[in-house]
Amino acid sequence: MVGLLLKDFTGGLPIQDVRQLPDNAAALSINQRLGSGALEPIRQPRVIRALNAATRYVYRIVLDDADAADITKGVWWQHSDPNTDVVRGPTVNDAFKRYYACSPAFGLQLTTRDDIIAGNAPLKVGVGRPTGTPTLTVDSTNAARDPQQDTNYDGVIDDNDDKGDFSSPIETRAYLVTFINIYGEESGPSPTTEGTGPTDAKWTLSNIPQPDGDPSRATIINIRVYRTSTAASGSTVFNFVTDLPVGTGSYVDTVPNTIVSGTTILATTNSDVPPDDMQGIALMPNGIMVGFKDNNLYFSDNFQPWSWPADYTLTVPHDIIGLAVIGNTCVVCTTSNPSALTGSTGATMALSSSDSPMPCYAKQSIVVAPEGVYWATTDGLAMYSLSGGAKLVTNEIIGRYKWATDYPPARIAATFAYGGYIGIVYRPSEGRVSGFGIASGCVIGYDDVADALKVGVDHLSGKPWIIKGSTLYEWMPSDTQYKTLTWRSKQFQTPVPINMGVVQAYFDTAYAANVHVKIMGEDGALRFEGDLTDRKIRRMPSSTKDGIHQIEISCATMLHRLTVAQTVDDLKRN
């Protein structure tokens, strides 16, 4: 009296022996959608648009915010380097809507929403400092003086006598200039120039440094003049004097100290441009952009992604593969031990490192999820969480030996969507790309990414996409037709060899007309194969008795349960 009831279907557990799996777990699961308990297929990919032949990474810009949730609408910014990072600029009240992209192929670049839509080339990030030193001349000829006195005592006040003292206080001033580009971004300062004289003298700056006209960076439109004054704390600071149009070679400063002392203080003393060959970036919630090159970490000033003071640079012991941000922490994935960065400013960043090597072999395997940051490492999928640090999460699902064979970490590209780590992996031994998902403690395979080049997630809608050939698809949408799934059960072992004589399936006939079933016995021998077209009991032909029974289901509909038994009475008991 034996019957096998399959329900509450889950995915695969490659680490377990095929006979030791839970009754509802799969020995093989292809195109299954987890979560409902039923055996439900994923949906057919949806074509979004054609791409340039060389495109390997995309980022969507919408023309209307109302279209954000619709992945088929908007302009897709295309990149040929699959290791490209893109972030929206953190500048407060940014009228230009700046975006930043970085990859090993082109370094760190800046563009705007309008330029992306227009297809204009991006620019290098940062504003180069003025290299020349302005000249300061102090002309006190017309400065006010006290009344002249008979200093040589000859009874006559004439040119032979010393002139009267200056009426205004004598002070020493220092001047410098900075450059301002079309986006209002300000450079670090030029070298300073100094002079001494009465405050009402003619203070003339000449030989004012001019920009070099570098076409790879945003155009400089203004030269900003600062001069020293005494702050309320008693310290000497540089205060704003005026903005001059580019091309202005000299300027006469007559602005009173009472006005200058209340103007904006120079805030870019340490500002510098980032390295041209930066390899990747991430953006922290406090407006700090983090970049890397080799084993060096670079940091921008808060909410000023054009300002990268060299003094902020940190190093880690091993080369950096990629960065990912969770909460207020930036996870640094390296060729050995992962590290974590925290800090409120670029100048106060603190670096901590994991004690265990968990090398990252592919930047494209780094994925941010609500629970942590994932990446593919030697022995499995690693995750860094804020509460637990770094650890392996696939030891009880796949195991290190199966992982090394089926999931070569250097060949994984993944993203996070629908509660799981989903991606593609190139299998050299098979000469093909296959898809996989790790979620809910199970593994799923996907066959619709056999020739995929890249997988990612749309930052506006949270929906995953894939690039196949020169076409962009939405992956696993919610409203296209079902794909055909394949689900193979464990090998059930009966106390004595028996013949399974009847089978019954409960499935949604609105989606598909049948469910295809195979039943295998000892050594995988096929005992039955056929289509179940309704929910009626189907009798199977008598055949060899087996002590091992395995069931394989293929369908393009939602299957709620399937029962296999010796007799109709056994079937009814299930």
Q: Which long-range contacts (CB under 8 A, 24 or more apart) does 46-49 make?
A: 46/72, 46/473, 46/474, 46/477, 46/480, 47/471, 47/472, 47/473, 48/72, 48/76, 48/465, 48/471, 48/472, 48/473, 48/474, 49/76, 49/471, 49/472
Considering Cα of 550, then 30, then 69, then 86, what sign does the dihedral take? positive
- Higher pLDDT: 572 or 253? It is 253
Residue ranges of the chain that CATH labels 2.60.120 = 3-42+484-573
CA–CA gap between residue 155 and residue 354 (Å, rounded)? 89
**Residue 236: pLDDT band with limits 50, 70, 90:** confident
Residues 197-207 pLDDT 10s:
998 889 999 99
Task: Over range 187-194, report the average pLDDT.
Answer: 97
Residues 201-234 pLDDT 10s:
899 999 999 999 999 999 999 999 999 987 666 6
CA–CA gap between residue 32 and residue 438 (Å, rounded)? 12
Residues 450-508 pLDDT 10s:
789 999 999 999 999 999 999 999 999 999 999 999 999 999 999 899 999 999 999 99
Helix (H) or strand (E) holding 117: helix 113-118
CA atoms within 13 A on the CB side of 252: 6
- Higher pLDDT: 315 or 35? It is 315
Radius of gyration of the chain (CA): 35
CATH number, domain 3-42+484-573, options 1.20.1070, 3.40.50, 2.30.30, 2.60.120: 2.60.120
- The three-state secondary structure class of 174 is strand
Whether the predicted pLDDT of 156 surpasses 80: no
Hey, which bits of 182-265 come out as E strands?
193-198, 202-206, 220-230, 236-245, 251-253
Specify the pLDDT at position 146: 61
Task: Name the DSSP letter for residue 301.
Answer: B
Specify the pLDDT at position 427: 77
Whether the predicted pLDDT of 128 surpasses 60: yes
Specify the pLDDT at position 151: 57
